[in-house]
Chain A
Amino acid sequence: MSRANAPLTITGGRLLLPDGSIRAGTIRCEGGFIAAAGEDVVPLGGDDVHDAKGGLVAPGLVDLGVFAIDKPAFHFGGITRAGLMPDQNPPLDVPARVRFAAQSGKPDFWVHPLAAATQGLEGKALAEIAMMRDAGARAVCTGRRWIGDSGTMLRLLQYTGMLGMVVIAHAEDAGIVGNAVATAGEMATRLGLPSAPAQAEAIAIARDIALADMANAAIHFRNVTTAAGLDLVRAAKARGARVTAGVSPAYFMLSNLATGAFRTFTHLSPALRCEADRQAVIAAIADGTIDIVASGHDPRGPEDKRLPFADSAPGMAGAETLLPLTLSLVRDGVIDMARAFDLLSANPARLLGVDAGRVAPGAEADIAVIDPDRPWIVNSDKMAASAGNTPFDRQPVQGRVLALFKGGVAVRAKKAMA
């Protein structure tokens, strides 16, 4: 047995257990899986032993819907797995590309490719979804775009329902959004930015929930960012529909006021919403309407961002700030620590159908040792990510990853973790 595959025991930590409790204890991993966790667990001879020094022993984050494989940023952020958006160049719409992408992070990072729903992500002809599933795709995704043709969307959902795969949808009615880069309102009006009403989201969600009902298929909305959209998801869940929802921290941290002075790092898709919608996102995280918080990691250099606002590319580098920004909800009393890791790890792992995202015997040994209170300041010039396009530049945050393990093996962190 090579040194890298020696069993791992993490001692002296506070274990975040699946029942939501946090208890001092030890965790032992063997063969890439968690073998035991608890107060009475002890390391055996030949184990690699890591002293957590009182840190929180939590599941590695599972980041659903990233646009680039950016390992230094993911490792900085405690992310051990990511669902890769099909919006690659070329798109993940054939089995060979899916198979390649699925291997691209190993051994210290696992990429779960999301299969393009339609060929070329054009929203017209269905892609070879079953073959991509068997090549390693864990879910189906419409990409950055909404499928405008309701007939196509219905047939997609009927097909994925049969295959037992969830469709991850972008929820914005494209006809209403057009070329908009901002949410309609006073800020967009003052800045003279092309804008679209926030209701474009609710309209898309209403249609897609109805279609998913008809097809008896599961649907996940990657970013639900408005009060009206969240109300629809909440109501659908209440009657037992197979609907889940996600959001990125930007939508509970920022409103469209942040776009003042044409800051292109705040150019996101969907566009930032009004303050009332931001509050609605926080309420939906608290009441369980939102299931997943994900980074939407999309590093973009100056060639994409140092442009006039409407000409710049949307997206932000979010992997490094996913954990601390979500932990801010814990400090604010919106959610508890256990729920934070449901949002960041357990729920996205369940959606992808992987046995990870929880600190329990039998699960894959993806472990992040975390100091949830450690303060640091986001600095866009010194990011681990391949580009520093964060709207949270210079913002003080709390929560740092002290050590990261993928499949029971320590991940060598780049020195970028300043």
Chain B
Amino acid sequence: MTPPEYTYPEGALAFPHRGLVGIAGLAPHQIWFLLDEAEQWVEMNRGAQKRRELLSGLTIINAFFENSTRTLLSFEIAGKRLGADVVNMAVATSSVKKGETLIDTAMTLNSMRADAIVIRHASSGAVQLIADKVDCPVLNAGDGQHEHPTQALLDALTIRQAKRAFNGLRVTICGDILHSRVARSNILCLASLGAEVRVCAPPALMPADIEQMGVKVFHDFDAALKGADVVMMLRLQLERMEGQFIPSPREYRHLYGLTLERLALAEANALVMHPGPMNRGIEIDSNVADHVERSMITTQVEMGVAIRMACLDVLTRKGRKMEGWA
């Protein structure tokens, strides 16, 4: 494996984007820069003192138009550990329920002088729509079936820490690719960093022409696992699956469940990943999910906080008039 070497320019040229709407549009060295920036926060988060007043006085609004527990929590912790004032706007308690349009909500948040807005929304493109209308940096925490860039970055950081380099690394992503923003962002991110990305799903859950995104398409999970260095399982959204896309959860497990026997088809030290929340016993067996040496699932959550700290820091540097960034 070739050593991981991406150089990036000094100051704001290292990441010349106003916000983070997606992995699409990021150069490999810009991804690398964010991963490098996150390392310091991994260190700090492991220590006793978990707070640095970097964003003190800044207001970060987490506007989640779609339910979320772990991503919202992760962004909230990230903002607070950097000393920012973090406000969460949950849809259930907002005027969105009263018929206010997305743009009006965005303009309202903008008028409250947020220094960064983190958005999750059920519709693809919704985050871009808001980013075009507000003055502050916008971070995409998942928009429909489009992108979930911080998830891809935290997955890349997890893989980088274990495998060091991406060139030639074989990553198999298995599950509901069609409806998955995690899959799309991961495909873009990993392919951009030089990994060989395989996607595996039954035809009904595979998006059309996905091979145009630079992936290899598999329907046979066993074949997709052969030689894999990383196995990334996606959550099966049971509520919209049954009868329409797959006959039953147990039949899905029969073909696509990651069992210990199946994992043996992959490389001997292959990593197991899952963005959570898991359906234990369906897409992933408990003895795989809890595998001490192989499962990275809790590490992913840990990296998530560090990545989000890095993103919040980098994207507010211009606003904080940091030298080289203002």
| Chain B residues within an 8 Å CB radius of A190 | 24, 184, 213
A261 at the interface (CB under 8 A from B): yes
A188 at the interface (CB under 8 A from B): yes
Question: Which residue in B24, B125, B207, B212 is a CB contact (below 8 Å) of A308?
Answer: B125
Known contacts A189-B213, A192-B181, A303-B101; A308 and B208 CB within 8 A of each other: no
Report how far A192 CA is from B208 CA in the complex, Å: 11
Question: Which residue in A192, A306, A307 is a CB contact (below 8 Å) of B145?
Answer: A192
B274 at the interface (CB under 8 A from A): no
B19 to chain A, nearest CB (A): 15
Do A192 and B213 touch across chains, with their CB atoms under 8 A apart? no
B242 to chain A, nearest CB (A): 16
Known contacts A185-B208, A307-B101, A308-B121; A192 and B184 CB within 8 A of each other: yes
- Cβ proximity bits B200-229 to A, threshold 8 Å, 1 near / 0 not: 000000011110110000000000000000
Do A308 and B123 touch across chains, with their CB atoms under 8 A apart? yes
A195 at the interface (CB under 8 A from B): yes
B167 at the interface (CB under 8 A from A): no
Of all chain A residues, which has the CB nearest B133?
A306
A197 at the interface (CB under 8 A from B): yes
Question: Which residue in B102, B103, B144, B212 is a CB contact (below 8 Å) of A189?
Answer: B212
> For the complex, would chain B's binding face be called helix, strand, loop or mixed by DSSP majority?
mixed
| Chain A residues within an 8 Å CB radius of B125 | 191, 193, 262, 308-310
User: Inter-chain contact count A-B, CB under 8 Å?
Assistant: 72
From A188, A190, A191, A195, residue with most partner B Cβ within 10 Å: A190
Do A262 and B208 touch across chains, with their CB atoms under 8 A apart? no
Of all chain A residues, which has the CB nearest B179?
A192
Known contacts A262-B129, A310-B144; A189 and B124 CB within 8 A of each other: no
Do B208 and A195 touch across chains, with their CB atoms under 8 A apart? yes
Question: Which residue in B123, B181, B209, B212 is a CB contact (below 8 Å) of A309?
Answer: B123
B110 at the interface (CB under 8 A from A): no
Known contacts A262-B129, A308-B129; A192 and B147 CB within 8 A of each other: yes
| Chain B residues within an 8 Å CB radius of A195 | 207-208
Known contacts A189-B213, A191-B125, A261-B128; A306 and B184 CB within 8 A of each other: no
Report how far A190 CA is from B126 CA in the complex, Å: 15
A346 at the interface (CB under 8 A from B): no
| Chain B residues within an 8 Å CB radius of A310 | 123-125, 144
Report how far A191 CA is from B184 CA in the complex, Å: 9
B146 at the interface (CB under 8 A from A): yes
Do A184 and B144 touch across chains, with their CB atoms under 8 A apart? no
A263 to chain B, nearest CB (A): 9
Do B101 and A191 touch across chains, with their CB atoms under 8 A apart? no
| Chain A residues within an 8 Å CB radius of B126 | 308
A373 at the interface (CB under 8 A from B): no
Of all chain A residues, which has the CB nearest B147?
A192
Do B209 and A185 touch across chains, with their CB atoms under 8 A apart? yes
B294 to chain A, nearest CB (A): 30
Report how far A309 CA is from B146 CA in the complex, Å: 11
Question: For chain A residues 184-221, which have a beta carbon within 8 Å of chain B?
Answer: 184-186, 188-195, 197
B239 to chain A, nearest CB (A): 15
A59 to chain B, nearest CB (A): 42
Q: Interface residues of A toward B: which range?
A: 20 to 34
Do A311 and B213 touch across chains, with their CB atoms under 8 A apart? no
B257 to chain A, nearest CB (A): 25
B102 to chain A, nearest CB (A): 7
Report how far A222 CA is from B210 CA in the complex, Å: 31
| Chain B residues within an 8 Å CB radius of A261 | 128
Report how far A116 CA is from B30 CA in the complex, Å: 56
Of all chain B residues, which has the CB nearest A309?
B125
Report how far A311 CA is from B66 CA in the complex, Å: 15
Do B124 and A192 touch across chains, with their CB atoms under 8 A apart? yes
A304 to chain B, nearest CB (A): 11
A118 to chain B, nearest CB (A): 26
Question: For chain B residues 167-198, which have a beta carbon within 8 Å of chain A?
Answer: 181, 184
- Cβ proximity bits A235-258 to B, threshold 8 Å, 1 near / 0 not: 000000000000000000000000
Do B101 and A193 touch across chains, with their CB atoms under 8 A apart? no
Do B128 and A189 touch across chains, with their CB atoms under 8 A apart? no
A193 to chain B, nearest CB (A): 5
Question: For chain A residues 291-342, which have a beta carbon within 8 Å of chain B?
Answer: 303, 306-311
Report how far A237 CA is from B103 CA in the complex, Å: 49
| Chain A residues within an 8 Å CB radius of B123 | 307-311
Report how far A261 CA is from B25 CA in the complex, Å: 12
Report how far A189 CA is from B210 CA in the complex, Å: 7
Report how far A306 CA is from B130 CA in the complex, Å: 10
B122 to chain A, nearest CB (A): 8
Report how far A311 CA is from B65 CA in the complex, Å: 14
Of all chain A residues, which has the CB nearest B148?
A192
Of all chain A residues, which has the CB nearest B244?
A178
Report how far A311 CA is from B124 CA in the complex, Å: 9
Question: For chain B residues 12-48, which have a beta carbon within 8 Å of chain A?
Answer: 24
Please list the residues of chain A having a beta carbon within 8 angstroms of any beta carbon in chain B.
Answer: 184-186, 188-195, 197, 261-262, 303, 306-311
Interchain Cβ contacts under 8 Å between A and B, 16 examples? A185-B208, A186-B209, A188-B207, A188-B208, A189-B212, A190-B24, A192-B144, A192-B181, A193-B144, A194-B145, A195-B208, A307-B102, A307-B123, A308-B121, A310-B123, A311-B123
- List 3 A-B pairs, minimum CB-CB distance, nearest first: A262-B125, A308-B123, A192-B146
Known contacts A190-B184, A309-B125, then 4 further A-B pairs from the complex at CB < 8 Å, ordered by chain A residue = A189-B207, A189-B212, A307-B101, A310-B124
Please list the residues of chain B having a beta carbon within 8 angstroms of any beta carbon in chain A.
Answer: 24, 101-103, 121, 123-126, 128-129, 143-147, 181, 184, 207-210, 212-213
